[in-house]
Amino acid sequence: MRSVIRVFSYLRHYPGLATSQLCCAVGMTLAVFIFPNATGHVIDHIIPNPEKHGEFLRWIALAAVGFLAKDGLNSLRIFINNIFEQKVIYDIRSDLYSKIQRLPLRWFDTRRTGDIMTRVVEDVTNMERVLIDGIEQGLVAALQVLGVGAFLFYLNPTVAAWATLPVPLLAISAAIYSTKGRDRYRNQRDASSDLNALLHDNISGIRQIKAYAAETEELDRFNRFSDQLRRANLRIMKWWALYSPGMSFLRMTGYVLVLCFGGYAAMKGELSQGDLVKFLLFLSLFYEPIDRLNSLNQMVLSGKAAADRVFQILDSESEKNAIEGTKLPAKIQGRVVFDAVSFSYQDQPTLNEVSLEVQPGQTIALVGPTGAGKTTVLSLLARFYETTSGTITLDGHDIAGLSKESLRDNLAYVTQEAFLFNGTVRENLLLSKRDATDEQLWTALEASHAAHFVRELPKQLDTNVGERGVKLSGGEKQRLSIARALLKNAPILLLDEATASVDSQTERLIQDALDRLMENRTAFVIAHRLSTIRNADRIYVLDQGRVIEQGTHDELLALHGKYAELCKKSFLGQEPEQIA
């Protein structure tokens, strides 16, 4: 119920629309009374007196006006409701996306992309059902039940009591169905999410699936998840197939009771024939909205299951100090110190008392086997994660107290796999400097040796690069991501060198671009190329989350330790004469 109330709390921003809708609903409910009253009057007072011909036409006209008013107001109400509901849905989606952007990376580590997408797209739409049907139908239906119910008792309390006898049974059945139905709807939303997550994963990895000829296995896996959704849906439908006709039968007993006790009262002369017909007409106006409320119950259940999933995201804890926190001065020097920093993603420690230091303008290279914790060092400096113990300082400021926005404004991160968004070259570059002019873009592209190929693209800066930049080669993507970092012109550079091999000409261009990028900046480089390592001011060798050796290339080779061993293994093919 809390989620439903929370969904409704979004409505308070639009009091004007809510009130107009309410007025239309009340007007409609009043208009509903006109036809049965006119019918009763015609049967009892006009049909027995044919001379009242003029009056007859007036009552017929009144009945028609009643329907015109009802449907006219209904049209207006639907119109207002659509605007209202779309505004609210927009607000919820916007809140949700804004929240998702503020969630820490740790949150994303444990979520599937397809599941998050299902929540933002499908679940918000399902919540919308609570709004459309909750307000639009629920309000009108509830008003009509109350209004017509009261009128039935006014017409004839005894017959009305018999007529409404099934109502408590209907209410109890609806309550049982709602309570028991919660799990069914939750399962259905989860099954839909699982299917979307699998689909998203498989489509992202379609090249791998084709390369390993795993289509049949993946189809089986897809069908398994699809079957879960089928069964979850069937479970809901099966119960509905029992519940809906059952409720209809209960409602119909009300009519039978009126026919019985109303007919009996009419025979005794306690109720006129007109009043009996009027009563039956009103009874249909009483039970018809109950039927709508019943269908609504199903939608509210489904909407509630969806709302729970949406609110789970909205209630997750946001990143700390995203905007708040100390701001760095406009110009920083770029001295970074890691002091006994430890960190773990889950239970196992990933970094263990790592200490390292880099002076302004220096480059340090992080080397070590895969899984040693090199990327984690960069992630902690960017505060994608918070350290478990130890401190990281930037120009003497503990970064834990800094505003993340201010910290990240001073960092440029070039990841190993150059990620480009599905947009134009220009849009991808502007990500790092929103107000960059075309001239600045071209300067950055020239410096990163990307200008040449961008000029050859069909629409140059306005060429779409495709999802994840699929329309560009690996080397081109790398150079664009270097251009993006150059454009940002941040004093600290975090660079995870790409390992994917490119031809030697491209390799030279990339190396040259990287050298320019590192010029006059404090640089942390996860180095894979010997030339980068040799040029670094200091090399830190990491193994199993610890710094095990540090020094310059020559110093470390002289140690004949892990570094020398790594060099022999990794770089023999590159420049053998330079390995001691």
- Min dist CB 452 to ligand ADP, Å, is 32
Strand, coil or helix: 550: strand
- Min dist CB 349 to ligand ADP, Å, is 10
Contacts of residue 27, Cβ cutoff 8 Å, sequence gap at least 6: 69, 73
Residue whose pair of structure tokens reads 């942390």 in the numeric block: 524
- Min dist CB 362 to ligand ADP, Å, is 21
Given phi > 0 = left and psi -120 to 50 = alpha, else beta, which region is 468? Answer: left
What span, in angstroms and rounded, lies between the C-alpha atoms of 99 and 411?
Answer: 23
- Min dist CB 112 to ligand ADP, Å, is 14
- Min dist CB 401 to ligand ADP, Å, is 24
Nearer to ligand ADP, 109 or 317 (CB): 109
Nearer to ligand ADP, 70 or 538 (CB): 538
Nearer to ligand ADP, 369 or 423 (CB): 369
- Min dist CB 370 to ligand ADP, Å, is 4
What span, in angstroms and rounded, lies between the C-alpha atoms of 379 and 348?
Answer: 17
What span, in angstroms and rounded, lies between the C-alpha atoms of 174 and 179?
Answer: 9
514, two tokens: 């990287």
81, two tokens: 């409701």
Neighbour order of strands in the sheet with 522-526 = 411-414, 492-496, 522-526, 363-367, 538-543, 546-551
DSSP 184-237: HHHHHHHHHHHHHHHHHHHHHTHHHHHHTT-HHHHHHHHHHHHHHHHHHHHHHH
Nearer to ligand ADP, 257 or 494 (CB): 494
Neighbour order of strands in the sheet with 336-343 = 351-358, 336-343, 389-394, 397-398
Q: For residue 523, which phi and psi values (nearest 5 degrees)?
A: -125, 135
| Contacting positions for ligand ADP (CB under 6 A) | 109, 345-346, 350, 368, 370-376
Nearer to ligand ADP, 304 or 528 (CB): 528
Question: CA triplet 431, 435, 439: central angle to 5 degrees?
Answer: 100
Nearer to ligand ADP, 29 or 375 (CB): 375
Nearer to ligand ADP, 77 or 374 (CB): 374
84, two tokens: 């209202």
Q: How far is CA 372 from the centre of its chain?
A: 34
Nearer to ligand ADP, 9 or 346 (CB): 346
Nearer to ligand ADP, 406 or 481 (CB): 481
- Min dist CB 372 to ligand ADP, Å, is 4
- Min dist CB 318 to ligand ADP, Å, is 19
Nearer to ligand ADP, 152 or 366 (CB): 366
What span, in angstroms and rounded, lies between the C-alpha atoms of 37 and 111?
Answer: 60
- Min dist CB 110 to ligand ADP, Å, is 8
- Min dist CB 416 to ligand ADP, Å, is 9
How many other C-beta atoms are found inside a 10 Å radius of the C-beta of residue 345?
A: 13
| DSSP-derived secondary structure letter, 327 | P
